[in-house]
Amino acid sequence: MLSQKTIHIIKSTVPALEKHGTDITKRFYQLLFTGHPELLNVFNHANQSQGRQQTALANAVYAAAQHIDKLESILPVVRQIAHKHRSLGVRPEHYPIVGQTLLQAIKEVLGDAATEDILQAWAEAYGVIANVFIGVEAEMYQQAERQTGGWADFRAFRVERKVQESSVITSFYLVPQDEEALAPFEPGQYISVKVEIPGEAHTHIRQYSLSDAPGNPYYRISVKREEASTGKPAGKVSNYLHEGVQLGDVLWLSAPAGDFTLDRQDQRPLVFLSGGVGLTPLVSMLSTVADTHPGRPVTFIHAAQNSGTHALKQQVEELAGCLEKASVHWCYNQPTEQDREQQVYDKEGYIDLAWLKQVVPTREASFYFCGPVPFMKAVNSFLSEWGVPAADIHYEFFGPSGSLDAAEGDARAETAAPQR
């Protein structure tokens, strides 16, 4: 337990963290990778270069300081992060390294304002927070290993099939190389893929949603090839998977993880909304509903550029046909002339609230959505404006978690694919 003095000191640093948080975390990662370059094998380098990881960590530190007197209130966030840590292979021995480096970064950035009392209070608070993470993650490691077909760390999988789903998305069907049992998963969960790319000094780990229903003799991931764009490098792992990985090749996978999962007990209508490759976890959920609760009403809405980039369309339509009451709707913001002639989509442009109200039968439903951040900000804003309760709104970020406050970014329902 933290003393009242420590809690008071930590809370007094909230304004400084709000102002200097990102500077602290930028310095933290510089120090961390200089002193411990082996950790570059764990972190997503693309998120580092784009500043996403620094911002996510700054938000997490700020939230911890705000709620230091009631840490139980941030346990849902702790569990979400712990899922990612377990899937990446973060271990208890990493936490002291992180704590020492974070304190050093705070001291360097805040200078004289970082008094001994403040540094001591943060050291104490970090120890408490780290122990919470270590405890939660220990349970997750045990569960992942002890379940039927489970394993610890990473396991070798063979590429059994490779299917091009669109001009930018390819599916990989993966089976255990040891031909032993396959661990179950909840629809919506992801796995981590660890690869060694020729010419790269460090291994790379990326997380990809499982895009088919549980119960199959394989795991399927559907990966978007990330092209280089202004201010954003090409995706090293996605391009390597598309161009370098062939049938029979081996990929190393962690056991399934993640808390963005379908509530199978809830029998109310379902609404799935996706943008770009964000449809992958939702297709897994749709497949599960079709297999287990075909009487549950479902509305599936997907935004893409056009038919050329639209992946898994046929599977979604076939699954909808297995349901007693289902509708599917496609929104294209850059339809081709052929798309227009054949009328293969429902709406041109971007998703908006007026259109949602037309195609979604009721707001008394469970809403699940995933896609690029601008898309998710727009959808979240629309659902809130419509009066959908927060408890009925479920979403997942691809990459470091951020905020869906529409004021923080473009509120259009864009269809660019998320980075994983």
Task: Give the CA diameter of the chain.
Answer: 70
At 65 the pLDDT is: 84
> Each residue of 81-100: pLDDT tens digit?
899 999 999 999 999 999 99
Average pLDDT along the chain, 420 residues, taken 10 residues at a time: 90 91 91 90 66 70 84 83 92 93 95 95 92 93 96 96 98 97 97 94 93 97 89 86 96 96 93 97 98 96 98 98 97 97 97 97 97 94 97 80 46 36
φ/ψ bin of 44: left (φ > 0), alpha (ψ from -120 to 50), beta (otherwise):
beta
Nearest of 58, 3, 47, 99 to residue 403 by alpha carbon: 58
φ/ψ bin of 387: left (φ > 0), alpha (ψ from -120 to 50), beta (otherwise):
left
Q: Is 367 annotated as a binding residue?
A: no
Q: Which two structure tokens, joined as six digits, stand for 350?
A: 């971007």
Prediction pTM value: 0.90
Q: Which two structure tokens, joined as six digits, stand for 41?
A: 């094998």
Catalytic residue among 29, 95, 126, 350: 95
At 340 the pLDDT is: 97
43 Cβ neighbours under 8 A, 6+ residues apart: 29, 33, 53
Q: Is 284 annotated as a binding residue?
A: no
Q: Is 208 annotated as a binding residue?
A: yes
At 75 the pLDDT is: 80
Q: Is 51 annotated as a binding residue?
A: no
Q: In what order do the strands lie in the sheet with 154-164?
A: 204-209, 190-195, 250-254, 154-164, 169-176, 219-224
Q: Is 190 annotated as a binding residue?
A: yes
- Confirm whether 414 is a catalytic residue: no
Contact assessment for residue 195 and residue 251, using Cβ atoms and an 8 Å cutoff: yes
At 43 the pLDDT is: 74
**Alpha-carbon span 369 to 232, nearest angstrom:** 24
Class of domain 270-408: alpha beta
Give the residue extent of every domain in the chain.
4-146, 154-254, 270-408
> Each residue of 199-249: pLDDT tens digit?
988 899 999 999 999 999 999 999 999 988 766 778 899 999 999 999 999
Which helix (H) or strand (E) element contains residue 220?
strand 219-224
Considering the segment(s) 4-146 as one domain, its CATH architecture is Orthogonal Bundle (1.10)
At 415 the pLDDT is: 34
At 233 the pLDDT is: 79
At 45 the pLDDT is: 63
| Identity at 9, one-letter amino acid code | I
Catalytic residue among 29, 62, 126, 137: 137
- Confirm whether 139 is a catalytic residue: no
Q: Which two structure tokens, joined as six digits, stand for 308?
A: 């050329």
Q: Is 276 annotated as a binding residue?
A: yes
CATH number of 154-254: 2.40.30.10
